[in-house]
Structure 1
Amino acid sequence: MIDLRRLQTLRAVHQHGTVTAAAASLHLTPSAVSHHLRELARELRLTLIEPQGRRIRLTPAAHLVIEHGDAMLARWEEAEAALDAYRDGTAGLLRMCGFPTALSGLLAPAAVRLRDSRPDLTVELSTCETDTGYDMLASTETDLALIAPTDDAAPPDESRFDQRPILEEPLDLLVPPGHPLAGRDGVSLTDAADESWIVPRPGTCDHYQRVLANCNAAGFSLRISQYYAMEWSSISTLVSNGFGIALMPRLAETPEQHAAVRVPLTRGLVPTRRIVSCVRRGSREQPLIQRGLRAVAAVLDARPDLRLSSPSGA
Structure 2
Amino acid sequence: MTGTTEWDIKKLRILRTLSERGTVTATAEALLMTPSAVSQQLSNLARQLGVPLLEAQGRRVHLTDAAHLVLRHAEAVFAQLERADAELAGYLAGETGEVRLGAFSTAVPALVVPAVAALRLTHPGVEVRVRETEAAESYELLSAGAVDLALSLAAHAPTARDPRFTRIPLLADPLDVALPTDHPLAAAPSLRLADLSSEPWIYGGSGPWSEITRTACEAAGFVPEQAHSAAGWTAILALVEAGMGVALIPRMAAPRATGVTVRSLPHDRPIRHVIAATRRGADTAPAVASVLTALREAALPRA
Which of the five TM-score ranges fits, normalised by the shorter chain? 0.5 to 0.7
The alpha carbon displacement at 1:185 in A equals 4.1
Distance of 1:118 and 1:284 partners within structure 2: 17
Structure 1 vs Structure 2 CA RMSD: 1.9
**1:100 aligns to what SS in structure 2?**
coil
Query: Does 1:244 find its partner at 2:248?
Result: no
The alpha carbon displacement at 1:87 in A equals 4.7
Distance of 1:84 and 1:213 partners within structure 2: 44
TM-score where L is the length of structure 1: 0.65
Counterparts of 1:214-293 in structure 2, within 5 Å, are 214-225=216-227, 227-256=228-257, 258-267=258-267, 269-293=268-292
- Percent identical among aligned pairs is 29
**2:253 aligns to what SS in structure 1?**
coil
**2:210 aligns to what SS in structure 1?**
helix
Letter in 1 for 2:147: T
The alpha carbon displacement at 1:92 in A equals 1.2
Letter in 2 for 1:117: T
**2:252 aligns to what SS in structure 1?**
coil
Q: Do the aligned residues in 2 keep the contact of 1:233 with 1:255 (CA within 8 Å)?
A: no
Aligned residue in 2 for 1:25: none
The alpha carbon displacement at 1:181 in A equals 2.4
Q: Do the aligned residues in 1 keep the contact of 2:179 with 2:262 (CA within 8 Å)?
A: yes
Distance of 1:119 and 1:186 partners within structure 2: 47
Distance of 2:290 and 2:167 partners within structure 1: 17
Distance of 2:92 and 2:201 partners within structure 1: 50
Q: Do the aligned residues in 1 keep the contact of 2:90 with 2:285 (CA within 8 Å)?
A: no
Aligned residue in 2 for 1:181: 185
* Stretches of structure 1 lacking an aligned partner (at least 5 in a row): 1-82, 308-314
The alpha carbon displacement at 1:84 in A equals 6.0
Letter in 2 for 1:252: A
**1:270 aligns to what SS in structure 2?**
coil
The alpha carbon displacement at 1:255 in A equals 3.2
Letter in 2 for 1:168: A
The alpha carbon displacement at 1:219 in A equals 0.8
Q: Do the aligned residues in 1 keep the contact of 2:119 with 2:294 (CA within 8 Å)?
A: yes
Which protein shows a greater Rg? 1
Distance of 1:275 and 1:87 partners within structure 2: 30
The alpha carbon displacement at 1:85 in A equals 7.5
Aligned residue in 2 for 1:169: 173
Q: Do the aligned residues in 2 keep the contact of 1:175 with 1:246 (CA within 8 Å)?
A: yes
Counterparts of 1:297-312 in structure 2, within 5 Å, are 297-301=296-300, 303=301, 306-307=302-303
Aligned residue in 1 for 2:294: 295
Counterparts of 1:93-172 in structure 2, within 5 Å, are 93-150=98-155, 153-172=157-176
Aligned residue in 1 for 2:214: 212
* Stretches of structure 2 lacking an aligned partner (at least 5 in a row): 1-88
Distance of 1:86 and 1:124 partners within structure 2: 21
Q: Give the paired residue count.
A: 216
Q: Do the aligned residues in 1 keep the contact of 2:155 with 2:273 (CA within 8 Å)?
A: no
Q: Do the aligned residues in 2 keep the contact of 1:85 with 1:91 (CA within 8 Å)?
A: no
The alpha carbon displacement at 1:155 in A equals 1.3
Distance 1:144 1:195, change over 3 A: same
Distance 1:191 1:114, change over 3 A: same
Q: Do the aligned residues in 2 keep the contact of 1:175 with 1:244 (CA within 8 Å)?
A: yes
Show structure 1 runs of 4+ deviating over 4 A: 83-87
The alpha carbon displacement at 1:246 in A equals 0.2
Distance of 1:84 and 1:209 partners within structure 2: 41
**2:131 aligns to what SS in structure 1?**
strand
Aligned residue in 2 for 1:59: none
The alpha carbon displacement at 1:149 in A equals 3.5
TM-score where L is the length of structure 2: 0.67
Aligned residue in 1 for 2:197: 193
Distance of 1:185 and 1:167 partners within structure 2: 28
The alpha carbon displacement at 1:184 in A equals 3.6
